[in-house]
A and B are shown apart, each in its own frame.
Chain A
Amino acid sequence: MTVPLASEHPVLQARLAGEVSADVSFEQLYDLYRQPVSAWLSLRVKPADADDLAQDVWTIFYRRWQTWRFPAELVPEAKPVLSFLYRTCHLTLAGFRRLQDRDRADDLGRAGEVAAPVGSWQRDLELGQCLTAAKVACSSDELEILSGKLTGVPARAIARTLGVTESAVDHGYRRAIVKIREALAAPGTTAPQTSAPEAPQ
């Protein structure tokens, strides 16, 4: 079950055939995927940071798109651009968190202040019941798996991004569903997850 996004395939075909410029096709792909990218980011960081990171992600993609390597045969289900954006969101977010950790350590060193909990400044989102339960009950990687699968990112791309096998992605998805179900059945009993998942290799 995935969000029924329009396909990137016609844009890739037109670009490969030289029917459309790199810049025009970039704007078409932006229109196609700007909301999933913003959703992935805003689920994880506060609004201003999500906006900055979206600019970073789209700029990285813009540069790469200028010299994009097309395979010999374009497969409609492959979604290479969606996969690239998913991976770039993941990596840029990781870079952002590294930077935050450094800044926080510097602040502590200078002022001896107590750092805010990681989740304390996250966006106050209008989430449904299941997504709220997922945010509370699932680990960071399980949330990544959920958001990727729900957007239609191929399992192979999710696995490569997270450095796990495709079966681990499947396993992580099923585990996340179980956790959400348990959280919904007994609200308030599930502690927020902050550690890495127990994804089998």
Chain B
Amino acid sequence: MNALDVERRLNGEWQAFVENADADSRLAAAIVEARGSRTTRPMLWSELQDVRLAFAELHAALDEESKAKVLATTAWTVKDVVIHLASWASEFKRQIETAAARQPFDYVITFTPRVGPTDWNARELDRRRAMSLDAAFGELDAGTEGIQELALSLPDDVLFSVAELPQTPDGRPENRWRLPLANLMIMKCWHDHYHLARLREVLDLPE
């Protein structure tokens, strides 16, 4: 058999294999009904790895200093956004570790609905003004990798149980966010994707 024969046969065998694959015809309806609420450890690891790889691609694309100085929002440059994401990666990791250790939070982050935690964001960005772009990407990846590790290692009753977090809509400690740590991990990925989409847009990078 020559190489072309092998390719032809392989193609036919693969087609038959796919046609015979046993896929649950009701799964899509079940996912829609549950509004995609399923969360497992491989899912969390996969979602976090996806953003890590996306940030690695973004980092590689910022090969000229001038690109990091492009305005990505009305107020922030590309570098500012990366620093913002790095500050949240560290904060999310700290929150998950603190909640997992059943330790109380001695601070709040006022997260005004539809506006966000503007004061906290500005303060954390200011603290990192002197940081290089490489260092910001380093903090971002280290924080995300740490969360990925926690997604695999935390006990079920910690990862999937509701925890009380520092975020609050009105600055009042009694109104702190209460949600499972696994959901906080998903939220981190959603936040990363939200900013990644804008960064790709301004830098003209593929999705």
Contact = CB atoms under 8 A, between A and B. Distances in A.
Interface in B148-182: 152-153
Contacts of B25: 34
A31 interface: yes
B3 interface: yes
A3 B152 contact: no
B30 to A, nearest CB: 8
A190 interface: no
Interface in B168-207: 186, 193, 197, 207
B76 interface: no
Interface string B21-63: 1111101110110001010111111110110010001000000
B32 A62 contact: yes
Contacts of A87: 50
Interface residues of B, number: 48
A69 interface: yes
B15 A58 contact: no
A38 B15 contact: no
Given A34-B25, A127-B17, 10 more contacts: A1-B7, A39-B17, A62-B36, A92-B43, A94-B49, A98-B152, A129-B13, A130-B6, A134-B10, A181-B1
Interface of B: 1-3, 6-25, 27-29, 31-32, 36, 38, 40-47, 49-50, 53, 57, 152-153, 186, 193, 197, 207
Interface of A: 1-4, 23, 26-27, 30-31, 34-39, 42-43, 47, 51-56, 58-60, 62-64, 66-67, 69, 71, 80, 87-88, 91-96, 98-99, 102, 125-131, 134, 146-147, 150-151, 160, 163, 174, 177-178, 180-181, 184-185
